[in-house]
């Protein structure tokens, strides 16, 4: 058998799980969350929204297909650590280029296997998401608990600045609709979906001034997904507020929370977030249910929204939390889940088309106005 | 939007007898559907010819027709019941085909019956190859290249384009009957002919071979609002080329990236929407080329299937129940998830364990057939195992199969297996291939080479390699530790347990006893923990206690303070131990729940009702081995454990469990041993002065020869402690005896081989009774229609007896009471007798549930298994109000269903070794009608006119005269062989002579092929007679011509034909028979 190197994950409440190391050596600190997707670990690792978090995969066999060149959702993995029952030592897929452990090592991300991930998940479900540390070096429980407790909490922390790109760039230079994406940690598939719908896609850093954005002469704005607490990212909320009513806006996940705040709503932290690919969401406009990909620890408070202006469009059938809104007068809508999937079901793809429809009708309105 | 109110009465079609390809999973689905529809306020009418099912229990439907499932019969039921709707998607292919025929014959239209779940056009689009292909091309889904053929000429044209190897798939069959892979032109032609014949629509598909590709299945559900969810993905361990039913399968899919999985998911959504299964479940099969990821769709079943049962058990998502609800108009978001209570059914289960299903084969029953697997299904059952990893689940599954493996163990010494053999066993899929993968690894074959030979994915092979490596580590560690008297280092032992190694398996590696490993393990605090199957990977709280064991840090079981009973189930289905025992286990659970006990079920068979999470208060989905069972008992500390309902599986554990202090309730283990142990049994019989055929028990061939000579030939030779007559044979001479003893000894193991005087031409009688230790009441006395020597599980039998006189029956009753009393039976007892020349001999006593318990219960309305379960916890028959035998005024015939069409080359003759996979029942007020119905139900549709071929052995020549005369008078044309001709003509019955095949005359074969023979009566004698007409009997099976091989069977056949010719039979629900019965009782 291969040599096993001891490792531990220690939670801030003192809970300890012993396992074995894979990926990089050292420490990894962050908020520990669980993800129930049975496929798509590569997409999860490279989703910038996981910045600051240690991800526990509830499915026991991870890494079976290795890692390939095409399925990354950003330039590199962003998770602060990966917890699994078992990491495959071989890779089996015609597209795979690297084993998972090797890939994590290259990116200096620490993994721990041999963990009773179900027990860990139940613990989080009952006690709530909390900070933790994975270690392959120092295995002293007391020291590790202190380390976990001293690590930064997600609440009130701006993680967007750590994942947003430094410079403006074109994802796609040509297209019928000019879309500006405010990058709070955007997943590449959002950009791919826009491109596929014949959009010219410009990506701007999250702190870009609204005037600069408007100078790009966009037909619509997309506020992307991203990590952490939306309340800590007031500058994007401010930007959104300035654009409200001027242009069609589509918010996804973190972008949805930003928009809700811009419209006067509040967000709060869930006891344990939604991370997985099987959440049923009902589109209240037609009664249809879509199985969605989700990844969020914060949520928009339904009570805080002004219902005269805002229509609730989507609801989570598992816990009845808010999943989508639409402004009754302005061309604005947003969803808490990931219509771009990756990983997860493609059921909600239609929302990108709705966005394009919104842009089209806004353009028509604009033209009529101009003619008048 | 709630349920439909425009329909009130719904007819559900069951799947009929258990056959290969259609097992008890449809009892599970049908039972769920009946319960669910009744709960929703519908009137449920059910037709199913299989009396051993839970779904045919009289309280599950409003009217239950245990009648043959044919369009004609269902029409009769429709006329009588006038249902508003018919639900065809829960009764397997039988249900679907019958509904299609009813629709095509415009019977549904005539009586205004709506097809719900899936309608005619939808089913046709999914099942008709050409329409399916067209539909797939329309929505841009790739398929293997293929061409349809309706004649052999068309088939030859098609293969020119497709090329060889090519796959032949007949349309409208089940389990792939008649399909195959053709590698040569000859093979192709032969298979095309059989395929065309097997297809209901004389149609085959000639298809591009994608053998060696990865195979997947997705379970899909859709509601009327077009919401679709995927319940589960399943990946086949074996590559394309092995029927899914015969493949080891794993859930969820292991070797797909999210991109590939979502492509498959998107395709499934598109397919179910295009085909138009509006309301219910379907399964869709895909193949993926491992080299470039090309994905093609293979087929779609627009109904609940074997895989749905597996997916339900693997995820906790009750597909059949929800399919029934969707069919009556509910939507997925209106149904709540029973397990989490708070979340809706409109979601996709997330699982946090690995599930492995392993098929169980019975090639040992058919020595002429090779255990090579292909696209025609051959397995008779399956076991499912749940573990945290594939390795753990695989090893649990292998020991759960109950074929003598304690995991991925070493039955052979790999050093003695030649490379040639290994390469052959790896490249030709077969029942024991997984072990040859291990041998290959031990011999140092590279993973890549094994992948190349087998087509099995690298990931699976590597996991097996990890097991092999750990095994090597254990052996190494053991050698190191021998010095310091430690058995094994703790870390390694824990890892071995996490890899699914059983204590027994470890003990074998360490040359020690299972018990020692267990004690050592417990000393180190390495204990099994139980985790919950909850549909959601622990994201929500689960309320349904459905558990599996593993070796992790947290245990989730909650022991209650209630009085509790553990019921041990029967494990995977096999010939001799099937649905009948599961029926008994379920009934035990229902009965004990009724009187306030908490019931705990342990079983490993995903097809069954017993492994439904709402059958018992708790379900442990575990292998039925000593280790796995004792782990549960240690945890639950039950007040009693029931071993007498699950067949031989739990019975074999009884002694060991009792030795460990487990409270076995009901008949004592000592009594069970007394009945099974031949010497003890002989003593007992002598003490009670009950006649028994002369006998002896032996351990060696020399002894056997001596004993047989003393008794006189013919003798019946059989091992002890087996079910279904495994390795049982009637032996006429010394030479055969010596040959056969080897096999019998092998099967018997440490137990003796039994030799009995064989009573030729005796009538065999089967009795089921129940006793509380003081009082014994007969449940039913059944007379076998075939003579003694044919295994009672294969023989047709009739209840009540139609030939035996009251004096004989009274002797049988007396002996039954004596035996039950002497054995102090508390629960069920089954006794087999033989009656010859007015003498009653006892053949066998089984103080446990028998195969006939459900049949007797259905016919008499007495729930024998429930009564027995209540007795086991201390109730008396008096208290339960069952103190007198019930006399019925109707007749029921149980007929067996045989799998010969699956095993080419196997002779269809019946003998003492049981070969049938299932049973049907014919019930009527007259014996002839009941028999006739039982034959139709078993798929042997008896002709009312036409041509009969008769060839009988000399002993039967006298008795055949009367039968032939009847047939002649009824207008049948008769063909005979020379000897039979003489017997008939001397009694003035004219017939035409056909030459014997042995003499080189193949005329009879041609006549059968061209459909000129409608009935065959052939009773062969001796070895020569057996082989003489074998080709004819085989052909009759392939061509579906009824072939009767015993004179008693022929008598009953003619009796039935005569009656039905006079007046067509009618159909009656069992509730009606039972109501009449109550009246009789009250008088």
Encode pLDDT of B577-629 as tens digits: 999 999 999 999 999 999 999 999 999 999 999 999 999 999 999 999 999 99
Q: How many Å apart are CA B919 and CA B66, to the nearest integer?
A: 12
Cβ of A118 and B291 within 8 Å? no
The percent of residues above 90 in pLDDT, for chain B, comes to 74
Of residues B536, B609, B622, B612, the one with CA closest to residue B579: B609
Point out the domain boundary residue: A150, A178, A205. A150
Q: How many Å apart are CA B866 and CA B851, to the nearest integer?
A: 15
- Say if A188 falls within a structural domain: yes
Can the peptide bond before residue B714 be classed as cis, meaning omega within 30 degrees of 0? yes
- Say if A177 falls within a structural domain: yes
pLDDT attached to residue B1011? 87
Q: Which residue in chain B is spatially nearest to A123 when comparing CA positions?
A: B538
Point out the domain boundary residue: A111, A131, A150. A150
Per-residue pLDDT at B1061 exceeds 90: yes
- Judge whether B390 is closer than 8 Å to chain A, CB to CB: yes
In this prediction, residue B1083 has a pLDDT band, given cuts at 50, 70 and 90, of: very low
- HEC string of B382-446 equals EEEEEECCHHHHHHHHHHHCCCCCCCCCCCCCHHHCCHHHHHHHHHCCECCHHHHHHHHHHCCCC
Q: How many Å apart are CA B574 and CA B917, to the nearest integer?
A: 8
Q: Sort out which chain B residues have CB atoms less than 8 A from A86's CB and list them.
A: 389
* A61 in catalytic set: no
Q: Which of A321-325, B47-51, B157-161 has the lowest mean pLDDT?
A: B157-161
Q: Sort out which chain B residues have CB atoms less than 8 A from A42's CB and list them.
A: 257-258
* A353 and A269 within one domain: yes
- Say if A211 falls within a structural domain: yes
Q: Which residue in chain A is spatially nearest to B468 when comparing CA positions?
A: A1
- Say if A249 falls within a structural domain: yes
Closest residue to A289, CB basis, from B332, B389, B473? B332
Cβ contact B279:B253 at 8 Å: no
A208-267 confidence digits (pLDDT tens): 999 999 999 999 999 999 999 999 999 999 999 999 999 999 999 999 999 999 999 999
Interface test with B, best of A93, A99, A187 (most B CBs within 10 A): A93
Cβ contact B113:B83 at 8 Å: yes
Cβ of B539 and A276 within 8 Å? yes
Cβ of B347 and A345 within 8 Å? no
Q: How many Å apart are CA B189 and CA B210, to the nearest integer?
A: 20
Cβ of A125 and B354 within 8 Å? no
* A268 and A185 within one domain: yes
Q: Which of A158-167, B275-284, B655-664 has the lowest mean pLDDT?
A: B275-284
Q: How many Å apart are CA B320 and CA B1043, to the nearest integer?
A: 37
Q: Which one of the listed residues A253, A296, A299, A314 is annotated catalytic?
A: A253
* A261 and A171 within one domain: yes
A17-69 confidence digits (pLDDT tens): 999 999 999 999 999 999 999 999 999 999 999 999 999 999 999 999 999 99
pLDDT attached to residue B197? 82
B169-179 confidence digits (pLDDT tens): 888 765 556 67
- Judge whether A90 is closer than 8 Å to chain B, CB to CB: yes
Cβ of A118 and B226 within 8 Å? no
Q: How many Å apart are CA B138 and CA B125, to the nearest integer?
A: 13
* A137 and A264 within one domain: no
* Secondary element (H or E) of residue B4: none
Cβ contact B963:B937 at 8 Å: no
Q: Sort out which chain A residues have CB atoms less than 8 A from B332's CB and list them.
A: 289
Q: How many Å apart are CA B328 and CA B36, to the nearest integer?
A: 10
pLDDT attached to residue B860? 96
Where do the DSSP E strands lie in B9-119?
A: 9-13, 43-47, 63-65, 85-87, 114-115
Closest residue to A93, CB basis, from B226, B255, B347? B255
Cβ of A59 and B351 within 8 Å? yes
Q: Which one of the listed residues A275, A279, A296, A338 is annotated catalytic?
A: A338
CB atoms within 10 A of CB B652: 17
Give the number of C-alpha atoms closer than 13 A to the C-alpha of residue B243, restricted to the C-beta side.
28
- Judge whether B494 is closer than 8 Å to chain A, CB to CB: no
A70-100 confidence digits (pLDDT tens): 999 999 999 999 999 999 999 999 999 999 9
Beta strands B618-621 and B598-603, pairing class: parallel
For residues B490-500, one letter each, b for 16 or more C-beta atoms within 10 angstroms of the residue's C-beta and e for the rest, the string is eebbbbbbbbb
Cβ contact B614:B338 at 8 Å: yes
Residues 6+ apart with CB under 8 A from B647: B570, B576, B577, B581, B723, B848, B849
- Judge whether A125 is closer than 8 Å to chain B, CB to CB: yes
Q: How many Å apart are CA A207 and CA A322, to the nearest integer?
A: 27
* Secondary element (H or E) of residue B363: none
Q: Sort out which chain B residues have CB atoms less than 8 A from A116's CB and list them.
A: 552-554
pTM of the predicted protein model: 0.94
Cβ of B352 and A60 within 8 Å? yes
Per-residue pLDDT at B271 exceeds 90: yes
- Say if A155 falls within a structural domain: no
Point out the domain boundary residue: A122, A150, A178. A150
Cβ of A39 and B388 within 8 Å? no
**Residue A334 is part of a domain; what is its CATH number?**
3.40.50.880
Cβ of B258 and A37 within 8 Å? yes
A contact residues 332-361, partner B, Cβ 8 Å cutoff: 341-347
Cβ contact B582:B609 at 8 Å: yes
Interface test with A, best of B352, B355, B547 (most A CBs within 10 A): B352
**Distance of residue A215 Cα from the nearest chain B Cα, in angstroms:** 37
Interface test with B, best of A19, A47, A64, A89 (most B CBs within 10 A): A64
Of residues B331, B274, B321, the one with CA closest to residue B90: B321
Average pLDDT score over residue span A2-30: 94
* A184 and A111 within one domain: no
* A27 and A165 within one domain: no
A284-316 confidence digits (pLDDT tens): 999 999 999 999 999 999 999 999 999 999 999
- Say if A341 falls within a structural domain: yes
Q: Which residue in chain A is spatially nearest to B498 when comparing CA positions?
A: A114
Q: Which of A282-291, B505-514, B544-553, B894-903 has the lowest mean pLDDT?
A: B894-903
- Judge whether A241 is closer than 8 Å to chain B, CB to CB: no
Per-residue pLDDT at B444 exceeds 80: yes
Cβ of B254 and A95 within 8 Å? no
B780-798 confidence digits (pLDDT tens): 999 999 877 888 889 999 9
Question: Which residue's entry shows tokens 């007749």?
Answer: B891
CA distances to B665, B758, B836, B991, B1079 from B955, in Å: 49, 16, 16, 20, 45
- Judge whether B220 is closer than 8 Å to chain A, CB to CB: no
pLDDT attached to residue B483? 59
Cβ of A36 and B554 within 8 Å? no
- Judge whether A371 is closer than 8 Å to chain B, CB to CB: no
- Judge whether B458 is closer than 8 Å to chain A, CB to CB: yes
Per-residue pLDDT at B564 exceeds 70: yes
* A255 and A132 within one domain: no
Average pLDDT score over residue span B527-551: 94
Average pLDDT score over residue span B696-724: 85
B1020-1045 confidence digits (pLDDT tens): 766 555 567 778 888 888 788 899 98
Q: How many Å apart are CA B305 and CA B126, to the nearest integer?
A: 14
Strand partners, B123: none
- Say if A322 falls within a structural domain: yes
Per-residue pLDDT at B133 exceeds 70: yes
Per-residue pLDDT at A317 exceeds 70: yes
Q: Which of A3-12, A293-302, B753-762 has the lowest mean pLDDT?
A: B753-762
Cβ of B347 and A1 within 8 Å? no
Q: Which residue in chain B is spatially nearest to A272 when comparing CA positions?
A: B539
Q: How many Å apart are CA B567 and CA B585, to the nearest integer?
A: 7
Per-residue pLDDT at B1 exceeds 60: no
A contact residues 288-317, partner B, Cβ 8 Å cutoff: 288-289, 291, 317
- Say if A43 falls within a structural domain: yes
Cβ of A1 and B473 within 8 Å? yes
* A172 and A119 within one domain: no
Looking at every residue in chain B, the average pLDDT score rounds to 92
Closest residue to A1, CB basis, from B343, B457, B470? B470
Q: How many Å apart are CA A247 and CA A256, to the nearest integer?
A: 16
CA distances to B122, B142, B574 from B286, in Å: 20, 10, 29
B859-916 confidence digits (pLDDT tens): 999 999 999 999 999 999 999 999 999 999 899 999 999 888 777 677 777 888 889 9
A168-181 confidence digits (pLDDT tens): 999 999 999 999 99
Q: Sort out which chain B residues have CB atoms less than 8 A from A38's CB and list them.
A: 233, 252-253, 350-351
In this prediction, residue B999 has a pLDDT band, given cuts at 50, 70 and 90, of: confident
Q: Sort out which chain B residues have CB atoms less than 8 A from A278's CB and list them.
A: 347-350
Residue A19 DSSP symbol: E
- Judge whether A93 is closer than 8 Å to chain B, CB to CB: yes
Average pLDDT score over residue span B9-26: 94
B contact residues 235-264, partner A, Cβ 8 Å cutoff: 252-262
- Residue B296 phi, psi dihedral angles, 5° rounding: -125, 150
Strand partners, B382: B359
* A273 and A248 within one domain: yes
Q: How many Å apart are CA A72 and CA A91, to the nearest integer?
A: 17
Q: Greater confidence, B806 or B480?
A: B806
Q: Which of B102-111, B195-204, B557-566, B923-932 has the lowest mean pLDDT?
A: B195-204
CA distances to B302, B384, B536 from B531, in Å: 33, 16, 13
- Residue B898 phi, psi dihedral angles, 5° rounding: -110, 150
* A143 and A40 within one domain: yes
Of residues B837, B613, B866, B696, the one with CA closest to residue B31: B613
**Residue A122 is part of a domain; what is its CATH number?**
3.50.30.20
* A351 and A238 within one domain: yes
Average pLDDT score over residue span B706-724: 83
* A203 and A95 within one domain: no
Question: Which residue's entry shows tokens 């599980």?
Answer: B793
Domain count, chain A: 2
Gyration radius from chain A CA atoms: 21
Cβ contact B991:B1012 at 8 Å: no
Strand partners, A168: none
Domain limits for position A93: 5-150
**Distance of residue A203 Cα from the nearest chain B Cα, in angstroms:** 24
Average pLDDT score over residue span B276-301: 92
* A340 in catalytic set: yes
């Amino acid at each position: 058998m291969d040599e096993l190197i001891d490792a531990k994950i220690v939670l801030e409440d003192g809970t300890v799980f012993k396992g074995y190391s894979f990926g990089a050596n050292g420490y990894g600190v962050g908020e520990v969350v669980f993800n129930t997707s049975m496929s798509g670990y590569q997409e999860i690792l490279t989703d910038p929204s996981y910045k600051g978090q240690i991800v526990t995969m509830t499915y026991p066999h991870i890494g079976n297909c290795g890692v390939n060149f095409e399925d990354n959702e950003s330039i590199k993995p962003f998770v602060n650590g990966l917890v699994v029952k078992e990491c495959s030592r071989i890779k089996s897929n015609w597209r795979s280029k690297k084993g998972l452990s090797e890939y994590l090592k290259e990116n200096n991300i620490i993994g721990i296997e041999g963990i009773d991930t179900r027990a860990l998940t139940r613990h989080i479900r009952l006690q709530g998401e909390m900070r933790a540390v994975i270690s392959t070096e120092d295995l002293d429980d007391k020291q590790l608990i202190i380390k976990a407790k001293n690590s930064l909490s997600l609440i009130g922390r701006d993680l967007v600045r750590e994942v947003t790109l430094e410079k403006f760039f074109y994802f796609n230079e040509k297209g019928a609709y000019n879309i500006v994406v405010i990058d709070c940690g955007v997943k590449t598939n959002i950009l791919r979906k826009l491109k596929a719908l014949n959009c010219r896609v410009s990506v701007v850093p999250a702190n870009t001034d609204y005037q600069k954005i408007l100078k790009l002469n966009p037909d619509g704005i997309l506020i992307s997904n991203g990590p952490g607490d939306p309340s800590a990212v007031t500058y994007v909320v401010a930007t959104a507020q300035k654009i409200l009513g001027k242009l069609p806006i589509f918010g996804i996940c973190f972008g949805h929370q930003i928009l809700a705040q811009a419209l006067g709503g509040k967000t709060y932290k869930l006891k344990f977030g939604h991370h997985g690919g099987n959440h049923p969401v009902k589109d209240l406009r037609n009664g249809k249910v879509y199985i969605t990909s989700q990844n969020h620890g914060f949520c928009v408070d339904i009570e805080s929204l002004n219902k005269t202006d805002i229509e609730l469009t989507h609801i989570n059938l598992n816990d009845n939390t808010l999943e989508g809104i639409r402004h009754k007068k302005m061309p604005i809508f947003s969803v808490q889940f990931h219509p771009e999937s990756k990983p997860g079901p493609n059921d909600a793809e239609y929302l990108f088309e709705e966005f394009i429809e919104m842009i089209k009708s806004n353009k028509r309105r604009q033209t009529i106005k101009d003619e008048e | 939007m709630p349920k439909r109110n425009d329909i009130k009465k719904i007819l559900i079609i069951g799947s009929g007898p258990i056959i290969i390809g259609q097992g008890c999973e449809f009892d599970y689905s049908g039972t769920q559907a009946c319960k669910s529809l009744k709960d929703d306020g519908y009137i449920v009418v059910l037709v199913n010819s299989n009396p051993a099912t839970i779904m045919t229990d009289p309280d599950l439907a409003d009217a239950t027709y245990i009648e043959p499932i044919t369009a004609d019969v269902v029409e009769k039921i429709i006329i009588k019941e006038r249902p508003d709707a018919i639900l065809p998607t829960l009764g397997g292919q039988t249900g679907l085909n019958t509904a299609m025929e009813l629709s095509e014959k415009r019977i549904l239209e005539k009586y205004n019956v709506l097809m719900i779940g899936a309608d005619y056009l939808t089913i046709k689009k999914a099942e008709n190859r050409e329409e399916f292909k067209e539909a797939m091309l329309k929505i841009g889904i790739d398929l293997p290249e293929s061409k349809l053929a309706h004649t052999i000429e068309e088939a030859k044209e098609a293969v020119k384009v497709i090329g060889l190897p090519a796959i032949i798939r007949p349309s409208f069959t089940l389990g792939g009957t008649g399909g195959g892979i053709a590698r040569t032109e000859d093979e192709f032609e032969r298979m095309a002919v059989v395929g065309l014949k097997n297809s209901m629509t004389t149609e085959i598909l000639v298809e591009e071979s994608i053998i060696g590709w990865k195979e997947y299945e997705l379970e899909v559900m859709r509601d009327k609002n077009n919401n679709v969810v995927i319940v589960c993905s399943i990946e086949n361990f074996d590559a394309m080329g092995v029927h899914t039913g015969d493949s080891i399968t794993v859930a969820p899919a292991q070797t797909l990236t999210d991109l590939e999985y979502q492509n498959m998911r998107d395709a499934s959504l598109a397919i179910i929407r295009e085909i138009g299964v509006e309301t219910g479940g379907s399964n869709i099969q895909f193949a993926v080329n491992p080299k470039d990821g090309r994905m093609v769709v293979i087929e779609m079943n627009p109904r609940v299937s074997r895989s749905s049962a597996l997916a339900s058990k693997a995820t906790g998502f009750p597909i059949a129940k929800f399919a029934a609800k969707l069919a009556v108009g509910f939507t997925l978001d209106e149904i709540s998830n029973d397990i989490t209570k708070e979340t809706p059914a409109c979601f996709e289960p997330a699982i946090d364990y690995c599930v492995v299903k392993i098929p169980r084969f019975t090639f040992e029953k058919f020595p002429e057939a090779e255990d090579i697997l292909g696209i025609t299904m051959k397995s008779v059952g399956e076991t499912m195992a749940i573990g945290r990893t594939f390795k753990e689940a695989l090893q649990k599954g292998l020991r759960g199969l109950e074929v003598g493996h304690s995991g991925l163990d070493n039955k052979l010494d790999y050093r003695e297996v030649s490379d040639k053999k290994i390469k052959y066993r790896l490249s030709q899929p077969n029942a024991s291939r997984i072990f040859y993968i291990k041998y290959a690894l031990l011999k140092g074959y590279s993973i890549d080479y094994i992948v190349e030979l087998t087509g099995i994915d690298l990931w699976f092979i590597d996991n097996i390699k990890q097991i092999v490596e750990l095994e090597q580590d254990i052996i190494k560690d053991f050698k190191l530790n021998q010095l310091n008297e430690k058995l094994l280092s703790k870390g390694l032992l824990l890892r071995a347990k996490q890899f699914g190694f059983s204590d027994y398996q470890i003990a074998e590696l360490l040359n020690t006893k299972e018990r020692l490993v267990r004690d050592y393990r417990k000393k180190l605090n390495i204990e099994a923990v139980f985790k919950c199957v909850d549909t959601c990977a622990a994201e929500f709280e689960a309320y349904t206690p459905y558990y599996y064991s593993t070796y992790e840090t947290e245990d989730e079981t909650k022991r209650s303070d209630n009085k509790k009973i553990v019921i041990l189930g029967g494990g995977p289905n096999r010939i001799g131990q099937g649905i009948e025992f599961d029926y008994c286990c379920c009934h035990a659970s229902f009965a004990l729940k009724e009187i306030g006990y908490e019931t705990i079920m342990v079983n490993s068979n995903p097809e069954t009702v017993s492994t439904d999470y709402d059958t018992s208060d708790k379900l442990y989905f575990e292998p039925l081995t000593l280790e796995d069972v004792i782990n549960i008992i240690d945890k639950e500390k039950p007040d009693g454990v029931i071993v007498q309902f699950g067949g031989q599986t739990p019975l074999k554990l009884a002694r060991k469990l009792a030795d460990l202090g487990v409270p076995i309730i009901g008949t004592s283990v000592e009594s069970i041993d007394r009945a099974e142990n031949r010497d003890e049994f002989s003593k007992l019989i002598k003490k009670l002065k009950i006649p028994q055929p002369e006998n002896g028990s032996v351990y060696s061939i020399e002894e056997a020869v001596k004993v047989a000579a003393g008794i006189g030939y013919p003798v019946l030779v059989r091992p002890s402690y087996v079910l279904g007559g495994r390795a049982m044979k009637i032996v006429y001479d010394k030479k055969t005896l010596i040959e056969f003893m080897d096999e019998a000894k092998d099967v018997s193991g440490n137990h003796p081989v039994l030799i009995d005087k064989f009573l030729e031409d005796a009538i065999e009688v089967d009795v089921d009774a129940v006793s509380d230790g003081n009082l014994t009441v007969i449940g039913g006395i059944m007379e076998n229609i075939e003579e003694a020597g044919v295994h009672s599980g294969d023989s047709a039998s009739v209840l009540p007896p139609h030939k035996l006189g009251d004096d004989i029956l009274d002797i049988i009753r007396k002996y039954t009471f004596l035996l039950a009393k002497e054995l102090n039976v508390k629960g069920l007892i089954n006794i087999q007798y033989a009656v010859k020349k007015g003498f009653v001999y006892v053949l066998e006593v089984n103080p446990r549930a028998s195969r006939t318990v459900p049949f007797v219960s259905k016919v008499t309305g007495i729930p024998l298994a429930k009564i027995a379960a209540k007795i086991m916890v201390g109730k008396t028959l008096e208290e339960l109000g069952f103190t007198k035998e019930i006399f019925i005024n109707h007749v029921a015939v149980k007929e067996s269903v045989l799998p010969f069409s699956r095993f080419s080359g196997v002779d269809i003759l019946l003998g003492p070794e049981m070969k049938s996979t299932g049973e049907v029942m014919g019930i009527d007020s007259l014996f002839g009608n009941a028999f006739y119905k039982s034959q139709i139900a078993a798929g042997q549709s008896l002709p009312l006119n036409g041509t009969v071929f008769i060839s009988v052995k000399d002993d039967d020549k006298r008795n055949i005269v009367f039968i032939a005369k009847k047939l002649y008078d009824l207008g049948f044309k008769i063909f005979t062989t020379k000897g039979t001709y003489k017997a008939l003509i001397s009694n003035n019955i004219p017939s035409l002579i056909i030459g014997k095949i042995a003499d080189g005359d193949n005329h009879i074969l041609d006549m059968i092929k061209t459909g000129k023979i409608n009935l065959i009566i052939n009773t062969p004698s001796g070895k020569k007679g057996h082989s003489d007409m074998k080709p004819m009997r085989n052909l009759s099976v392939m061509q579906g011509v009824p072939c009767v091989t015993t004179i008693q069977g022929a008598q009953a056949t003619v009796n039935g034909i005569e009656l039905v010719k006079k007046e067509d039979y009618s159909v009656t629900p069992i509730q009606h028979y039972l109501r009449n019965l109550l009246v009789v009782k009250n008088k």
